[in-house]
């Protein structure tokens, strides 16, 4: 690494540094973790400087999964951009669809039918379960609880089947679109969802029993990965991490969107502020999500699944067969895309990882002028050095996993 022509943050640290003076002084060692390390859940590279077993310095190196989605958005029209938002956070794509749809609806100033809003809430909560299950399975796997992974992925498979039932896709659903939903919910959706959600709280108890009765799990997670509340707010950390520190910041409660104010749920918080409390918060969130889904199934309003705005939302298939105007609108929307009035909008929603916010700027044409994605993984990952510095190298995996970042979300 001698002739690097640019200012590499990593190259400047020598691999092993002998401290001058006493021979017994601890040696500093630089350890490269990732980008292919299995515990980084993606392609994150962390350069760790060690003194003995203590982490003195941790430098995250991101960008391995950068795909230029924000640039791509400027070259696709407002309707096509939905499919790109799926790819940002591939574990909770419906939250990304939703925040994009809400931002565009804010610019267009259109009202979404109540049925679509409730359906969105239900699907986003199903997606929250999906994301938390993947997190719980892989995080426990990292720490050594192998069987958790199989339990969690058993339920996740059912969730993916539900998503496939709704949209035809298991992961990249693009089901939530500006104006409402892509399709009417399939026949028998309520039976399928309620069958799944009835047995789900029992499954959460199962995870809880499996992990909480395991002394190794507790030893490895309790008191690990502390970040002070002041640091969290200063560093922009949101989501379960902040709630495990005692601040009940949840966009669903503080700035309700998509009729979340009509649902009865709690924002679970803890005060220990360690890896264990983050696990407890996520476990409680799964139970709360199950409650929200139950309420949504029971009280699902009737009506349209997409707003009837002729020059924005696609017309009904049946109308297109009989009405000339509908056919023309369909043709115009599909070929040119719809125009969005000039302006700017910022909309935040609560994704499983924290606050996700899109900033859309329109110049009045059919393509976004700028779409900035404020993603929770990027913001949370910024707190990694603060969390790791001063802890033991053996705790780094547990601490890292408790952040629940997705590298697609970080690098976009």
The reply on whether position 5 binds another protein by CB under 8 A is yes
The reply on whether position 62 binds another protein by CB under 8 A is yes
Is 122 or 281 the residue whose CB approaches another protein more closely? 281
In whole angstroms, the minimum distance from the beta carbon of 283 to another protein comes to 19
The reply on whether position 43 binds another protein by CB under 8 A is no
Is 77 or 173 the residue whose CB approaches another protein more closely? 77
Residue owning tokens 């969390």: 387
Which member of 171, 172, 233, 307 binds another protein (CB under 8 A)? 233
In whole angstroms, the minimum distance from the beta carbon of 345 to another protein comes to 6
Residues 6 or more apart whose CB falls under 8 angstroms from that of 258 comprise 98, 102, 112, 117, 120, 121, 124, 349
Query: CB under 8 A: which stretch of 88-96, 173-181, 185-193, 370-378 binds another protein?
Result: 370-378
In whole angstroms, the minimum distance from the beta carbon of 104 to another protein comes to 12
Which member of 13, 56, 300, 361 binds another protein (CB under 8 A)? 361
Is 223 or 385 the residue whose CB approaches another protein more closely? 385
Q: 61 has which bridge partners?
A: 45
Residues 104-143: x/- map of binding to another protein (CB under 8 A)?
Answer: --xx-x----------------------------------
Residues in the interface with another protein (CB under 8 A) total 47
Q: Compute φ and ψ for 198, nearest 5 degrees.
A: -65, -40
Which member of 307, 359, 365, 392 binds another protein (CB under 8 A)? 359
Binding interface with another protein (CB under 8 A) = 5-9, 62-63, 66, 68, 70-72, 75, 106-107, 109, 231, 233-236, 247-249, 253-255, 267, 269, 343-346, 348, 355, 357, 359, 361, 369-370, 372, 374, 378-379, 382, 411-412
């Amino acid at each position: 690494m001698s002739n690097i022509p640019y200012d590499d943050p990593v190259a400047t640290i020598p691999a092993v540094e002998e401290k001058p003076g006493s021979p017994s002084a601890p040696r500093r060692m630089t350890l490269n973790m990732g980008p292919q390390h299995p515990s980084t859940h993606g392609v994150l590279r962390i350069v760790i400087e060690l003194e003995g077993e203590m982490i003195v310095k941790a430098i995250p190196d991101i960008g391995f999964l950068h795909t230029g989605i924000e640039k791509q958005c400027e070259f696709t029209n407002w309707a096509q951009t939905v499919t790109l938002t799926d790819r940002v956070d591939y574990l909770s794509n419906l939250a990304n669809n939703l925040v994009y749809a809400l931002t565009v609806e804010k610019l267009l100033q259109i009202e979404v039918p109540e049925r679509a809003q409730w359906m969105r809430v239900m699907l986003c909560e199903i997606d929250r379960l999906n994301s938390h299950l993947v997190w719980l399975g892989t995080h426990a796997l990292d720490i050594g609880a192998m069987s958790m992974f199989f339990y969690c992925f058993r339920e996740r498979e059912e969730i993916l089947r539900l998503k496939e039932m709704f949209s035809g896709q298991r992961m990249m659903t693009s089901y939530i679109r500006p104006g409402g939903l892509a399709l009417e919910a399939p026949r028998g959706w309520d039976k399928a969802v309620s069958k799944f959600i009835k047995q789900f709280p029992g499954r959460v108890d199962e995870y809880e029993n499996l992990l909480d009765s395991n002394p190794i799990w507790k030893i490895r997670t309790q008191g690990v990965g502390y970040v002070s509340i002041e640091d969290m707010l200063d560093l922009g950390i949101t989501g379960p991490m902040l709630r495990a520190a005692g601040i009940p910041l949840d966009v669903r409660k503080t700035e309700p969107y998509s009729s979340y104010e009509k649902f009865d749920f709690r924002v679970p918080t803890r005060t220990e502020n360690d890896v264990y409390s983050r696990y407890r918060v996520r476990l409680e969130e799964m139970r709360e999500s199950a409650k929200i889904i139950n309420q949504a199934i029971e009280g699902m309003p009737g009506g349209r699944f997409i707003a009837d705005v002729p020059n924005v939302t696609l017309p009904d298939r049946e109308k297109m067969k009989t009405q000339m105007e509908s056919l023309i609108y369909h043709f115009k929307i599909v070929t040119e895309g719809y125009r969005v009035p000039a302006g700017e909008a910022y909309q935040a929603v609560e994704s499983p990882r924290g606050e996700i916010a899109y900033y859309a700027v329109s110049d009045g044409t059919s393509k976004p002028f700028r779409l900035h994605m404020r993603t929770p993984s990027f913001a949370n990952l910024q707190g990694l050095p603060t969390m790791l510095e001063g802890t033991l190298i053996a705790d780094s995996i547990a601490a890292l996993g408790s952040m629940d970042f997705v590298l697609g979300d970080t690098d976009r």
